[in-house]
Structure 1
Amino acid sequence: MANFDYDLFTIGAGSGGVRASRVAAAHGARVAVAEEYRVGGTCVIRGCVPKKMLVYGAHFAEDLEDAKRFGWQIENPTFDWRILRDNVLADVDRLNGLYTQTLDNHGVRIIDQRAKVTGPNEVTLADGSRITAKYILVSVGARPMIPDCPGHELGITSNEAFHLDALPKRILIAGAGYIANEFAGIFNEFGSKVTLINRSDKLLRGYDETLTGRLLQISLAKGIQFRFNAAFRGIEKNLDGTLRVSMTNHDDMEVDCVMYAIGRVPNTEGLGLENVGIELGERGEIKVDEFNKSSVESIYAVGDVTDRVQLTPVAIREGQAFADTVFGGKPSKVSYDHVPSAVFSHPPLAGVGMTESEARNTLGSIKVYQSDFRPMKNVLAGRNERALYKMICEGESERIVGIHLLGPDAPEILQAAAVAVKAGLTKADFDATIAIHPTMAEELVLLR
């Protein structure tokens, strides 16, 4: 490897790229990372971390109202979006510094430029400099998809949502996935009038339909409006700065902000990948094998740019596996079975394993256990909102193949339950576990 400038050159300092670079350096490799924006990637800078902080802020809207039933008298509470926005962005700065420090501490060189691949062992920086490396890792993530309609440039994506000067009085959110539903809940709790539109009539495709149907009911009760089977015809700006949106199957509507959350596409344009023989998929994703190797022997890819499972913890695992395989002498693969995921909606939803319909189609004979209950806090608060838990079991053995939760703290509860599904435990194992009372999580060991 002495014939090259570096043993590893990583393009993109997101979660997967940072983990791969840090671990490779710990294994003794000479590593450089090129990042054109900020170290930390989508999750830390403009994704799950700042969004979760907004979710926490939004929860106070209902908590302050519920507090009255618990004896707290809070007179005329007010909300200042700019304070929350600026505090969140300040914490993003802090995390950006920590990620940068981590790479520095491991001797990884950070290059604040865009890089593209110009050979199987060569990258070219924006300033024209050429750098060689024994291995190249592409971890540039994905970007929000923009609809192809007249006036699409008038809308924003989740990237810009964190930087709004003021909360929109009326916001139209396009999409039905986790990003759309999370921001719908956030803006609704902050007092915006929220309408969510989607091209199909499905909400949160891939999650259990019993729970997504319940979330739709709760969201409607909270005041969020939905327009299904709606596609953009066009967006126009009115003289007063508001936006007029036309769509299929529904009347036009006027809003103050349009936000796109219709999916994310691999960020491979302009990287020169096709020129060196890297095979790309239909969405522009880099095709890789089980060890994250592309069609070019010396070039690997991890994270959302491969379009396998677009989740931060998955990208981190892939980065770790790559570094251990190539530089640690320990061939490692990532298992994509039983990957838990969550939607930080209001209330949150979380799931792991097969949904009921997937289990019926795959296994045939199954058993479904369900608990539909009102959390204790909601009872005293006078809130009718109910939680819903489901456990999907293989029919004969009652091996648990899926757990799906909708309700307060569902993601926190599911993390431990996901271990049980991954380990192949049975309903009897849950039944044999004594409940912690009173908790919502105890419903998992009391299902009938």
Structure 2
Amino acid sequence: MKNIVIGSGPAGRLGSLELGKLGEDVTLIEKNHIAGTCLNEGCMVICALTDITKFIDSNKRFNDYGFIKSQLDISYEKIIEKIVETQEVLRKLNQMENESFGNNIIYGEASIEDDIVKVNNESFEYDNLLIATGARPFIPDIEGKEFGLTNKDILKLDEIPEKLNIIGGGIIAGEIANIYSTLGSEVNILARSTFLKEISATTKKYVLEKILPEVNIYENTNVVEAFKDKVLTDKGEELEGTPFFATGRTPNSEIAEGFVELNQDRTIKVNEMMKTNVDNVYAAGDVTGGYLLTPVARMEGITAARNMAGYGNKVSYNCIPQTLSLNMEVSFVKNEESSCTDEDKSTIGIPGIAGPSSFWNILSGDTGYTEVEFDKKNNEINRINSISPSSVSDVAYISYLMRMGYDLDDYSEFLEIHPSTDSNYKIIKNMWL
């Protein structure tokens, strides 16, 4: 069967890989660069820059302790140059991986006309089609919006902005603030409602006091006009600094308009098999809305591919682990399907004093914090917010156990590898205090 995949981000790339593994005929069409937003403009760029800021943070701590004396000379231009070099290597590897399964990759902008996919003046028929065209930054319709930067512009900057106004209050806003405040920018965050509503109040308090102490937070504040070097708020304040929009994303669904059914927010409407209202057409990743996360996009792409190949598969969004990439990671997960009442809830808070990369944080008291909410009636974990150098792996591991419906008593046999999973062990040990 002929399968066409439009878009090579996490959903399309993993979907085409899965189809290739299953022995299917695959043509993958990509408009720009393979691996999509994640590698080329999004989370991989954020992670690369955050690796630098973690080093800067550690260097400062070691200098404060007095056993290392060093002065860093940071070249933002060279950092960007090396990120781009690394991206080029990864693009080649991603293409080689896809082609190793016999998949055909075409670069060009695709269109869909009368059940035919057209690209580079060629027409392709298909038995199954997967639309995985992703999303792009959403920019609110305010005067001066053309002056605003987005994540797409990070690799185009010539230097570190002296002052930065980040418009938005979600995870991306927090990550951008962490990067540029560590690099030396004076950073303001302007949130339309509250900042970091995704995490608990206690976790947010730790982030503001310990990780982002130099970032100025303006909550319940709207930007009404943007300029090249300042913004104007609805409270009459003029804040100096380059505007940076971190105001969410909008789907690249134009290719599907009039072809498949769209939701009110213009995302492509799919069922739990990632199928659209057209029998042989599927969609996956950010273009379908929901969790705009690389692992979720991968999961959706693989689910779509299996269904396209005739292997029935459904997607589940319960207990999705997430993280906020800062100088110390903040990870969280919630059991969305829990029926736990307030009477059955019990919460413990655990100061972080163990785990990898934690030793040299102890003297400064920046060792993290974990908050776990339990369902006493069903003896299960309901929610976790964790701040620690190992929170990404800790929460991913525990989210799997939550998804599988493990009873708390099942966790008692966990054996840690010291110190790599000590924090995980500490969470588990505290369940029986």
State the TM-score, normalized to the length of structure 2. Answer: 0.92
Aligned partner of 2:244 in structure 1 is 259
Aligned partner of 2:371 in structure 1 is 390
Aligned partner of 1:76 in structure 2 is 71
- DSSP-derived class of the 1:156 partner: coil
TM superposition shift of 1:129:
2.9
Contact 2:6-2:30 within 8 A present in 1 as well: yes
- DSSP-derived class of the 2:125 partner: strand
| Counterpart Cα distance in 2 of 1:292 and 1:14 | 16
* Paired AA for residue 424 in structure 1: G
* Paired AA for residue 208 in structure 1: S
- Which of 15, 18, 21 is the aligned partner of 1:20? 15
Contact 1:33-1:111 within 8 A present in 2 as well: yes
Contact 1:393-1:427 within 8 A present in 2 as well: no
Say whether residues 1:245 and 2:231 are aligned partners: yes
Aligned partner of 1:300 in structure 2 is 282
- Which of 279, 294, 297 is the aligned partner of 1:315? 297
Q: Which runs of 4+ in 1 moved over 6 A?
A: 358-361
Aligned partner of 1:124 in structure 2 is 118
User: Structure 1 residues 82, 365: CA separation in 2 closer, same or farther (over 3 Å shift)?
Assistant: same
| Counterpart Cα distance in 2 of 1:404 and 1:230 | 26
Contact 2:33-2:91 within 8 A present in 1 as well: yes
Aligned partner of 1:240 in structure 2 is none
Unpaired runs of 5+ residues, structure 2, are: none
| Counterpart Cα distance in 2 of 1:29 and 1:441 | 41
Unpaired runs of 5+ residues, structure 1, are: 2-6, 238-242
| Counterpart Cα distance in 1 of 2:409 and 2:289 | 37
Say whether residues 1:232 and 2:218 are aligned partners: no
- DSSP-derived class of the 1:440 partner: helix
* Paired AA for residue 334 in structure 2: G
- DSSP-derived class of the 1:369 partner: strand
Contact 2:138-2:247 within 8 A present in 1 as well: yes
- When the two structures are aligned, how many residues end up with a matched partner? 426
Say whether residues 1:184 and 2:157 are aligned partners: no
Say whether residues 1:446 and 2:425 are aligned partners: no
* Paired AA for residue 208 in structure 2: L
Aligned partner of 1:197 in structure 2 is 190
User: Structure 1 residues 145, 361: CA separation in 2 closer, same or farther (over 3 Å shift)?
Assistant: farther
Aligned partner of 1:275 in structure 2 is 258
Q: Deviations over 1:264-304 (max 9, x none)?
A: 111112x1x2333x110121100011111101112110111
| Counterpart Cα distance in 1 of 2:42 and 2:174 | 14
Say whether residues 1:340 and 2:326 are aligned partners: no
Aligned partner of 1:371 in structure 2 is 350
| Counterpart Cα distance in 2 of 1:24 and 1:440 | 38
TM superposition shift of 1:43:
0.9
TM superposition shift of 1:26:
2.8
User: Structure 1 residues 340, 369: CA separation in 2 closer, same or farther (over 3 Å shift)?
Assistant: same
Contact 2:261-2:269 within 8 A present in 1 as well: yes
- Which of 265, 270, 291 is the aligned partner of 2:273? 291
Q: Deviations over 1:112-163 (max 9, x none)?
A: 11112212x31122x4432211111100011111121111011110111123
Contact 2:130-2:304 within 8 A present in 1 as well: no
| Counterpart Cα distance in 2 of 1:292 and 1:245 | 41
TM superposition shift of 1:431:
4.8
TM superposition shift of 1:349:
0.8
Aligned partner of 1:4 in structure 2 is none
* Paired AA for residue 224 in structure 2: R
* Paired AA for residue 227 in structure 1: Y
Q: Deviations over 1:412-446 (max 9, x none)?
A: 22222222222323443445546666643332123
* Paired AA for residue 382 in structure 2: V
- DSSP-derived class of the 1:284 partner: coil
TM superposition shift of 1:250:
4.9
TM superposition shift of 1:62:
1.5
- DSSP-derived class of the 1:234 partner: strand
State the TM-score, normalized to the length of structure 1. Answer: 0.89
* Paired AA for residue 245 in structure 1: V
1:28-43 to structure 2, matched below 5 A, reads 28-43=23-38
- Which of 391, 402, 416 is the aligned partner of 1:421? 402
Contact 1:371-1:388 within 8 A present in 2 as well: yes
| Counterpart Cα distance in 2 of 1:28 and 1:10 | 15
Say whether residues 1:44 and 2:39 are aligned partners: yes
* Paired AA for residue 165 in structure 1: D
| Counterpart Cα distance in 2 of 1:244 and 1:70 | 38
| Counterpart Cα distance in 2 of 1:107 and 1:280 | 32
| Counterpart Cα distance in 1 of 2:97 and 2:418 | 41
User: Structure 1 residues 419, 209: CA separation in 2 closer, same or farther (over 3 Å shift)?
Assistant: same
* Paired AA for residue 260 in structure 1: F
* Paired AA for residue 61 in structure 1: I
| Counterpart Cα distance in 2 of 1:220 and 1:19 | 35
- DSSP-derived class of the 2:292 partner: coil
Q: Deviations over 1:177-224 (max 9, x none)?
A: 111101100111111111111111x22233333212322233452x11
